[in-house]
Amino acid sequence: NKRVVLKRHVTGFPTEDDMELVPATARLAVPPGSAAVVLKNLYLSCDPYMRSRMSRHDEPSYVPDFVQGEVLTALGVSKVVESGHQDYKPGDLVWGMTGCEEYTLITNLESHFKINHPELPLSYYTGVLGMPGFTAYAGFFEVAKPKKGDYVFVSAASGAVGQLVGQLAKITGCYVVGSAGSDEKVNLLKTKFGFDNAFNYKKEQDLTATLKRYFPEGIDIYFENVGGAMLDAVLLNMRLHGRVSVCGLISQYNLEQSEGVRNLFCIITKRIRMEGFIVTDHYGSYRKFEEEMAGYLKEGKITYVEDVAEGIESFPTALIGLFYGRNIGKQLVVVARE
Residue 116 has pLDDT above 90, yes or no: yes
Report the distance separating Cα 311 and Cα 184, nearest Å. Answer: 26
Residue 226 has pLDDT above 90, yes or no: yes
What number of other Cβ atoms are within 10 A of residue 201's Cβ? Answer: 18
- Name the CATH superfamily, with its identifier, for domain 131-280: NAD(P)-binding Rossmann-like Domain (3.40.50.720)
What's the pLDDT tens digit per position in 170-180? 999 999 999 99
**Helix axes 228-237 and 207-214, enclosed angle (nearest 10):** 50
Residue from 5, 2, 6 nearest 41 by CA: 2
Give domain limits for the chain. 2-127+305-334, 131-280
Distances (CA, A) of 118 to 62, 85, 98, 296: 31, 21, 19, 16
State pTM to two decimals.
0.96
| Torsional sign, CA 332, 335, 336, 338 | negative
Which region, left, alpha or beta, applies to residue 165 given φ > 0 means left and ψ of -120 to 50 means alpha? alpha
What's the pLDDT tens digit per position in 290-322? 999 999 999 999 999 999 999 999 999 999 999
Residue 338 has pLDDT above 90, yes or no: no
HEC assignment per residue over 267-326: HHHCCCEEEECCHHHHHHHHHHHHHHHHHHHHHCCCCCCEEEEECHHHHHHHHHHHHHCC
Contact 225, 247 (CB under 8 A): yes
| CATH 3.90.180.10 corresponds to the domain 2-127+305-334 | yes
What number of other Cβ atoms are within 10 A of residue 288's Cβ? Answer: 10
